[in-house]
Amino acid sequence: MAALALAIYLPTLAPSITWRNGGADSGDLATAVLTRGVPHPPGYPTYMLLALLWTALPLPGDVAHRLNLFSACGAAVAAGLSAATLVGLGRRLGLEGIGLGVAALLAGLALAASPLLWSQATIAEVYASGLAAVSLFTLLVLRWEPGLRLRGALPAVLVGGLGLGMLPQLGLAAPGALGLLVARAGWRALSPRWLAAMLAAGLLGLCTFVYLPIRAAAQPTALWGEPTTLAGFWEVVSAAWYKVYFFANLDALGWLARLLASLASVAENLTWPGLLLAVLGATLLWRRDRAALGYLLSLAVLTVLFRTSYLAEGNVVYLIPAVDVGMLLAGLGGAALLAAAAGAVGGRPAVPLVVLLAALLVWRTASVAPTVDASGDWTAVDVAGRLLRVMPAGAVLVSDYDETTFAMWYLQALGQRPDVVVVDARLIFRDWYQRQLARRYPDLDPAAVTPSGLTGLGRPVYRLVGGPENAVPRPVVPVP
């Protein structure tokens, strides 16, 4: 199953950093991996550690291309884990035989071919590999049986702690998991002994966050914030700078419009047949395993509400866990439908129905592929390379866009034009960023900055104008 998913991803991988499919941060993540640094908050330490191991393998392409492959493998693993989860859940509900296996295979491939997940499987981002962590957590949680013992709950808690260092959204699964734990193990799950053991397992998983202060102390080229202090560490891992995006300038009608848009995006990824099957699957769980349904719906609802209330640009990818839940329910509904159809024809597999579902999946895959294909996209590399090449020696280049800033950082980490000082215009007003610039370039005065320029003592100063793809450097008059 995972191998099939990976096979559809490989031809569509971006060749390096890319701005396709919401990949603006690919330059930042690739630079952080290349320099063993700390990427943008919350730092993603588990992702960083795994990515460092992955990129050390003898794989083709530059670091960014290897990270693109890492994302593809993460998405494929997530699809495989979701299929395995569906098989286990179906067997608990009494669905057996070839129909369950076929439904799990089709649901896993449908998840892999969903536009949101596929788009993230082609670029260096955290969402595809992060979904693998969410899917593993869900698999372990839904395997909890009535009368669950403490040792049976700890693996999921450990994975949850580790997963928070890959995709912080995994925390949205916690309320549903706690409810399911109480339903399976009873109120003893909230006893001091259980809580202490689960806290220890969770903290063990969270140990990957130690990576942040350790690497920050080495002052790598890619370093966001100052996680070497307790206050600075919390500022990074809590993504304190991004909290302004919650409900920013959003009234009730605006929030409702975003909610409807979020639901529409999930529905688009599931398709109408998938939605109908998901309703059937949810109905089946309501009748036979409401605790499992509660966990899945809790994760999906909280995911949708989070995306609706958080106004960062391009955050539709936050809905991927909700799409995963929808595909699980659709697969369960498909398995029930296949079982009913087989019963109606004397127990034989319902071949026409299987062929129909497979044909719909093939059509879906063929229609999505061109919309997410990033295999020929060199725009980020070409633009960043052009901007660096035209800079005078030792110039300061102020960039207002993540796309151009991160792309140039990445090329510089590869050794291109390290003499050019690439300054992020949106970070220059932060104290920690000014201190970093002062350490790296003692001749600069980053405190002498206005919205129109930056003082570069003895250095020519330029600022990018225009959008990322047509950015042009223009000379800036130094601030008196």
Output the pLDDT for position 212.
97
Contact 138, 83 (CB under 8 A): no
Q: For residue 422, report the phi and psi dihedrals to the nearest 5 degrees.
A: -90, 115
Which has more confidence, 353 or 7?
7
DSSP per position, 359-387? HHHHHHHHHHHHHH--TT--HHHHHHHHH
Candidates 413, 439, 411; CA nearest to 35 is: 413
- Cis before 42 (ω within 30): yes
- pLDDT 10s digits, 422-464: 999 888 888 899 889 888 888 776 555 544 455 555 688 898 9
Give the range among 61-70, 313-322, 434-443 with minimum mean pLDDT: 434-443
Output the pLDDT for position 361.
86
Handedness of CA 384, 388, 390, 391 (dihedral sign): positive
Alpha carbon 344 to its chain's center: 43
Contact 104, 87 (CB under 8 A): yes
Establish how many alpha carbons lie within 13 A of residue 323's alpha carbon, considering only the half-sphere containing its beta carbon.
32
pLDDT band with cut points at 50, 70 and 90 for residue 319: very high
pLDDT of 384 above 50: yes
- CA–CA distance, 177 with 230 (Å, rounded to integer): 30
Contact 39, 28 (CB under 8 A): yes
pLDDT above 90 coverage of the chain, percent: 75
pTM above threshold 0.85: yes
Q: What is the dihedral of CA 18, 24, 26, 27, to 10 degrees?
A: 90
pLDDT band with cut points at 50, 70 and 90 for residue 345: very low
Where in the chain are the domains?
Answer: 2-241+349-372, 379-475
399, containing H or E segment: strand 396-399
pLDDT of 478 above 60: no
pLDDT band with cut points at 50, 70 and 90 for residue 479: very low
Give the range among 282-296, 298-312, 333-347 with minimum mean pLDDT: 333-347
Buried b (16+ CB within 10 A) or exposed e, 169-203: bbebbbebbbebbebbbeeebeeeebeebbeebbe
Tokens of 208: 């990957």
DSSP per position, 214-254? HHHHT--SSB-S-TTSHHHHHHHHTTGGGGGGBTTT--HHH
Burial of 161 (C-beta count, 10 Å sphere; 0-12/13-18/19+): buried
Candidates 407, 449, 458, 442; CA nearest to 426 is: 449
Q: How many CB atoms lie within 10 A of CB 364?
A: 18
Output the pLDDT for position 246.
84
